[in-house]
Each structure stands twice: as C-alpha cells, then as structure tokens.
A and B are shown apart, each in its own frame.
Chain A
Amino acid sequence: MANALHIVVCAGIVPDPLQTLEPVTGPTGPGLKNEMVLPAVLDPWAACALYEAAALAAKNPGSKLWLVSLGPKAKLQQVMMTVAQKVPLELVPIDGPIGGFPDAHSTAAVLAETIAALPGLDKTTLLLFGGWESATRGAGVTLQLVGERLGITDQFQGVDQIDLRDDGSFEVLERVEGGKHQLSVCAGAPAVLGWATGNLAEPRNNPQVGMSNMRTIMPALQKARAAKLDANGLSYVSVSLPKQQRTTRVVKDLTPDEIAAELVAWIGAE
C-alpha cells in the first residue's frame, strides 16, 4: 500500500478523426458544422494516458483512478458507452462546450477547480495525467495550467513511460527533439504527466468492467455541473480550411526502373 496513488486523468472528447470537419462561425464564436452530431471519441493522447493510468493503478493496490472530462453531457454519455468498457474508473463529468476553440486557460480553471474539490483526493499522492496535446486545440497547455493551479511543480510532457519504484519515486521518459527521450527521476507524487502514445495497446472491451463503471457513470452524468468558459481576451480573426489543393500527376505507365530514375533525379534536385 506504500505506493497507493490517486491518479486523475483529464481527457476531452473529440470528433472521430475520420470525419470531415468544416468550420462555422456562430454567435459564440467559431465551431464546427454539425458539431453535436459528429461521432466523438475520447481524445487519442488522453486515451493513452487513461490506459497507462489504469495499468499503474492495477499494479499499485489501493490506488484510485478518476477520469475528469469536460464536454456536453449527451456527447460524454455517448463516448463513455465505449470508454467505460476499457478500464475501471470513476467519471467526473463537467457539462460544457465541446471543441478546440474555447480558451485553454478557462478550461484549465474549471478542471483545476473540479479536481481540487474531488472528495477523498489526497494531493500528496496525486498523479495528474492527460494527453500532452489534444486533437482539437492541440495547444499542449491545459494540463500544465491545471498543474500550476494545483501547485504542482514537477511536470513532464510527451511522456512515453513511467516506472514507479518501491520508495514512491519514479523514472519518466519524455519525448524531446530529434527522436530522443529525456530520462528524469522524480522524488514522487504529486506530479503532472502529459502523455504521448505510451507503450500500451488499447485494452479490449470488458463488459463486466463496463457494467460496473456505468453504475456510477450514469448518476454522475445526471449530476454533472455546468461550466461556462471565458474568452480571456481571445478573439478569432479568421477560421478556415486550408486552401491548397494540389494538381496531382498520376503516373501509371512507367516501369519500376523508369520511376526509380525519375525519383533519383527528383531527390538530387535542389
């Protein structure tokens, strides 16, 4: 029980990556066309964080895992039907806007306030997990801001691995430039870890875990508090799809030798 951890995973929901996205401007600012009907998934990097958190909690008996997620209640419920079958968790939903255009500072303030108020949370054993960037805003700042608001000054981003030691300290691998990892040793919790892909595959759906989770998820969703996000002086001058459409030359009738010769000439061209 020496390493019993309180792990809080912050994870948003994002449109399924295979969906076509089209920006529109509404009365509250930019958004996505038909945003509320686009199929949603758990943010991919945050999902990696969730799976790593569940594995860490399973290895350290007495640990507890919360999933804090901000989004429209209806969308959260839809996504949780799948996520709940993956790993044991306690969902802490916050009813708020979806998407990448709201300000990250406001999002962080709401998340930090929610985490600080979690019943039974021991901040001395807190590991705050999340994706190092989201697939919506992709700014990579929300988790840091939550950490700062909670007074945590050991933070790691682009994490691919954590090895917890018996004394509570841990080694952590962070992605840095040039395809390398920076290896650090932290004295222990509390700490913030923004995950990249990690090393774990997506867990298979487990209906028993799903049923157990849903017993608490549905009441939590019903009681989810509503959050309004401030703009913090952020304004959008324009929001648009990239315009460049290339004129593609499709080459169907060349032999491998001819293609190779053309490619080598292209590679060597300045």
Chain B
Amino acid sequence: MENLLVLTHADETGSALTRASLETVTAGLELAARLSASLTIGIVAADSTSAAAALASTGARLLAVSGEAFSQARYATDAAAVEALCRAANATIVLAPGSSRFTRVAAGVAHRLSGFVDTHITSLGGADTIEASRWFYRQRIEAVVSRNVRPWFLLLDAGTHTAFAGASGTAKIEEVAVQLPALRTTVSGFRAPQQDQQTIRPDAKMLLVAGAGWTKKQPDGQIHAAEAGELILGFLGATGASLGSSKSLVDQGGEGNSVLPFLTHLNQIGQTGSTPRHAKGLSTCCHGEEPHVVGWRFIADRRAISLDPNCGWTRGKADVVYVADAFPVMAKVNALLEAAKA
C-alpha cells in the first residue's frame, strides 16, 4: 500500500496555507481514496496552528515543521524541513504544489531520499497505478508518465485542482524536529512594483497580451508608445486583468527602442516566459509565432485583435479574431468600461 504525503506551506502571513497548497490537498484526498492509500499532510510554516485547523476536516494525519527558520523560503531550511517530513511519514508518494518554494527543493530532497521527481503535473490518472500528465517542449507535446520506483515526488501545477475548503476545526499536529545545517543564506525580503504598478496578477480572470505591434509605426508614420502604454494600463485598471507580453516587445527595452516602461521579462509569456492560467485571454498587436501560442496553452477562452487576417495565430488557436487596429478598439473598450463603472 502506498503512503501518500501531501506537502503544504504557508503564505507570506506565515500561518495560512497558500492556494496552491490547498489545491494539492484536494489532489491528495482524491488520490488517496482511489489508491486506498494512507494520507499524511505535512505543513511547513512559522506557525502551523491555523494551517492545521484548516485541514482538520481532511481526517489525514498532520505533520508540521514550525519555527521562525521556516517563515522564509530558503533552500537549506526548506530542504531540511521537507526531508524530515518525508522521513516521518515514510512516504512512497509525495504530492507538492509546484510553487517557487517547493520547486526549489523538491528534486534535492528526492535525491537525498534516493527517490525521483516529476514536476509540472497537470493531472493524475491511472487505475491501480499513478499516471501523471505533463507537458514537454514548452507545452507543445503532452505526455503521460509513470514510475515504478519510490519515493516518487510529484509537483502539481497551480490551477489544476480546486482548492480544499473544508470546515476549520481542532487538529492534532505532530511536530517534526529538524536538524538544520549551518545557514549561509539570508532572505532579505521581496521586490515588487508598487501595488498600483503591479501588472502581473496570477489570480485575475483575464490575461491581456501586448505584442510588438504596439510600438511599431502607426498609419501616421509615427510611433505612439506613450499612447499605447496609457491604453494598456487603462484596460488593466478597468478590468483587473494581468498583463503578458511577447518576447519581442520586452526585448525592445534592451535594444534602445521605444518601450512600454512597465513591461519587464516577468511579463513575458511563451518559450522563455511563463504559461499562465486564466479564464480569458485577449491578445493585441501580436504575431502568431508558435512560441507565442505556447504562452497561451492554458487560456480557456481566447480572443485576439490583429491587423493580419492570415496570421498563424488566428487559425485554430483563438476563438475569435477581430481584424482591426488595436489602438481605436482598445480606446473604445476603455471608454465603455469606464462608462459602465460610472
């Protein structure tokens, strides 16, 4: 029988579990039921009390590694914590959220336990075994993999399961002691744009993608980068959408061309960017190269505004394509959204 361990960690508050952790709990409950496996949930947090309370209704054994050293994400401490949890649970299967925190350490811990790891899992199937789906070649080829060796670590992509939302209650927590190595790394904090300038919003329902066309010459022969910036930020402000960008537009900044000052490489989607998950996506002024399509793999409902009716992006990849100039369209969209708000 498999011993299933679900790893979770706290968010920046230090006590509440992250959404991705709660999604992994759901996956763990489903998998444990299917395999008739024992289920243990491990918590890494500065204070695991409230996190454990949120998991009380799972009925799972709860293990925790707590303390100030675990309030921050750092390889040495997190690897030690996860290793201790895995050993305490005697886990054969380990499910963990594919967060930056656990992605940083999962492979290292798997190696310490003579185990193996697969990441970016989007679904777990199979009958008596575990068959995990993941993408290769930057979301261009989909594969289902299995392993007959244990322990097997599986890191789940965010947004692939519903977040666990059971009733809060009193939970019995087993604290696991951790022997920490000498620490050479100190986490100083986070750097982010000011709140009103933050254009990356993973929880947004919509993704707006800006392509290089925004900073190309317009029909009057001039570049209107400032106007483009106002239109894009106006849309983001009115809708709360997240902003993605093509690589070519971000790269223009490094080449001394007109740029949208709020764009960074973090906005980039596609081959060397992210592949975000949002319910809707609106693409503007983008070409249709395959790398760009890669960035849209997990957008459910896709529309595009493009001047090129024969663009490869338009055929078979978007649901609706408006053959039009994005400048007047987005100006009108913003005006309508503002009017609706008023």
Contact = CB atoms under 8 A, between A and B. Distances in A.
* B interface SS class: mixed
Contacts of B340: 264, 268
B185 to A, nearest CB: 5
Interface stretch (B58-66, B69-77, B85-93, B166-174): B69-77
Interface stretch (A58-66, A210-218, A238-246): A238-246
B149 A154 contact: no
A157 B100 contact: yes
Contact of B141 (A235, A241, A245): A241
B138 interface: yes
A144 interface: yes
Interface range, A side: 35 or more
Interface range, B side: 35 or more
A23 B323 CA distance: 34
Interface in A153-172: 153-158, 160, 171
Interface string B123-154: 00000000100011110111111111100000
B190 A181 contact: yes
Interface stretch (B22-30, B31-39, B191-199): B191-199
B143 A182 contact: no
Contacts of B265: 160, 196-197, 199
B317 A187 contact: no
* A interface SS class: mixed
Given A250-B321, A256-B329, A201 B192 contact: no
B137 A154 contact: no
B49 interface: no
Given A141-B117, A233-B148, A248-B320, A242 B309 contact: no
15 contacts: A21-B137, A23-B143, A104-B107, A135-B137, A141-B106, A182-B189, A184-B74, A187-B184, A233-B148, A234-B118, A234-B145, A237-B144, A250-B321, A259-B305, A259-B329
Interface of A: 14-15, 17-18, 20-21, 23, 30, 44-45, 48, 100-101, 103-105, 108, 135-142, 144-145, 147-149, 153-158, 160, 171, 173-188, 196-197, 199, 201, 232-242, 245-252, 254, 256-257, 259-264, 266-268
